């Protein structure tokens, strides 16, 4: 006869992290029941994984501290999966396995935890990754912002695939797969700090369908997901690592009306706001327009656009504004939106 998971209290207690009965009940009733189908075996401390022959392994790790924990378009659970999967995907890897660490504040509602883990499980299933190991810690009230998550991701990448800044060449084109700043703005609105509300949803999603399509093109040089620091920071990193200037065209950069309105009202620059379901890629000039057209027609990135060009000499990142002027893109110093991802 199959054991029925124990019924939990309405809120997390410190005893849920003491290694005893309450911790086992939390793991069995919440994590095991929701993540077991994703490959999680809570009866072991280490899990074996199968790796295909003829590939290299790619590993990434990340932490998630978003505030609020739930926002239009997702929550910290789905965000953790998307963020980890996307780091592997833009490196050219196929995500395979994840580990999950949950840091939970005393007093957190069990119902909230259930929604977070349900979203996490659904995102993992959609991305085709297995969560094979994890750990749970409970912190005293006031020592944690509700829930923090930490992940490690493992993926497989072909031996002959070479992506990175070192492959970028003068004249290459820069493309972005969709509107920028949606995640940062959606989380900002969810905080209701400025009395603003809106129906904008985060762009948090797996970018695997996008990267799989781009990887078929031999002229692909580089991919990155513009999370903290946004599109501007990716461009600045690219210019620094390649030693080549970057020219961006403001009017070519996709931007939704809600993001534009909020940024204009509050003084934020959308180029620095986080995205969680976008890809910035560098591709050979003769393939850029076809790549964007294919992304649009396929439906995986209907707003994809060519937004800039790699220069032929060292230099800064310059943005040509809608009025035809030139604006220097500077390094981000202050954090405009802390705890955004």
Residue 49 has pLDDT above 80, yes or no: yes
User: How far is 90 from 85, CA to CA, in rounded Å?
Assistant: 9
DSSP lists the bridge partners of residue 62 as: 151
| Beta carbons of 250 and 317 less than 8 angstroms apart | no
Mean pLDDT confidence for 222-228:
96
Mean pLDDT confidence for 287-301:
98
How much is the pLDDT for 53? 84
Name the 3-class secondary structure at 286: helix
Q: How confident is the model at residue 203 (pLDDT cuts 50, 70, 90)?
A: very high
Residue 1 has pLDDT above 50, yes or no: no
Structure confidence by residue, pLDDT tens digits, 119-172: 999 999 999 999 999 999 999 999 998 999 999 999 999 988 989 999 999 999
Is the domain spanning 165-328 CATH 3.30.230.70? The answer is: no
Helix pair 76-89, 110-127: axis angle to 10 deg:
30
Higher pLDDT, 261 or 7: 261
Higher pLDDT, 157 or 37: 157
How much is the pLDDT for 40? 84
Most distant CA pair in the chain: distance in Å?
A: 73
- Domain residue ranges of the chain, discontinuous segments joined by +: 14-158, 165-328
Helix (H) or strand (E) holding 99: strand 94-105
Number of Cβ atoms within 10 Å of the Cβ of 107: 15
How much is the pLDDT for 4? 62
How much is the pLDDT for 193? 74
Residue 208 has pLDDT above 60, yes or no: yes
Residue 95 has pLDDT above 80, yes or no: yes
How much is the pLDDT for 236? 97
CATH topology of domain 14-158: 60s Ribosomal Protein L30; Chain: A; (3.30.1330)
Kindly tell me the burial class for residue 228, based on how many C-beta atoms sit within 10 Å of its own C-beta (0-12, 13-18, 19 or more).
middle
Residue 191 has pLDDT above 60, yes or no: yes
| CA dist list (Å): 231 to 112, 135, 203, 252, 272 | 32, 33, 14, 13, 6
Most confident of 19-28, 46-55, 184-193, 290-299: 290-299
How much is the pLDDT for 185? 94
Q: What are the backbone angles phi and psi of residue 207, rounded to the nearest 5°?
A: -95, 10
Residue 6 has pLDDT above 70, yes or no: no
Higher pLDDT, 207 or 339: 207
Q: How confident is the model at residue 3 (pLDDT cuts 50, 70, 90)?
A: low
Two domains, one topology: 14-158 and 165-328: no
Which of 29-43, 200-214, 222-236 has the least mean pLDDT? 29-43
Mean of the per-residue pLDDT values of the chain: 92
């Amino acid at each position: 006869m199959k054991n029925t998971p124990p019924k939990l209290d309405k809120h997390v207690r410190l005893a849920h992290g003491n290694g005893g009965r309450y911790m086992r009940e939390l793991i069995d009733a919440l994590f095991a029941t929701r993540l077991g189908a994703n490959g999680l075996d809570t009866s072991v401390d280490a899990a074996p994984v199968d790796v295909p022959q003829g590939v290299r392994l790619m590993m990434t790790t990340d932490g998630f501290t978003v505030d609020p924990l739930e926002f239009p378009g997702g929550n910290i659970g789905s965000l953790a999966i998307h963020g980890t999967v996307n780091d592997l995907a833009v490196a050219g890897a196929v995500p395979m396995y994840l580990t999950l660490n949950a840091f939970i504040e005393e007093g957190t509602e069990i119902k909230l935890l259930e929604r977070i883990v349900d979203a996490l499980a659904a995102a993992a299933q959609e991305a085709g990754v297995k969560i094979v190991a994890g750990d749970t810690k409970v912190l005293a009230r006031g020592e944690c912002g509700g829930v923090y998550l930490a992940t490690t991701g493992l993926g497989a990448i072909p031996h002959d695939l070479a992506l990175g800044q070192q492959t970028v060449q003068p004249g290459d084109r820069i493309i972005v797969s969709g509107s920028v700043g949606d995640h940062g703005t959606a989380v900002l609105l969810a905080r209701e700090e400025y009395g603003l509300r809106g129906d904008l949803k985060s762009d948090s999603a797996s970018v695997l369908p996008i990267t799989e399509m781009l990887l078929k093109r031999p002229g692909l040089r580089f991919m990155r997901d513009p999370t903290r620091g946004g599109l501007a920071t990716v461009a600045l990193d690219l210019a620094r690592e390649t030693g080549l200037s970057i020219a961006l065209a403001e009017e070519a950069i996709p931007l939704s009306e809600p993001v534009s309105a909020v940024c204009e009202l509050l003084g934020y620059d959308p180029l620095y706001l986080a995205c969680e379901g976008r890809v910035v890629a560098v591709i050979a000039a003769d393939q850029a327009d076809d790549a964007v057209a294919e992304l649009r027609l396929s439906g995986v990135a209907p707003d994809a656009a060519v937004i800039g060009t790699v220069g032929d000499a060292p230099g800064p990142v310059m943005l040509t504004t809608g009025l035809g002027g030139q604006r220097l893109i500077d390094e981000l110093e202050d954090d405009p939106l802390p705890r955004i991802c």
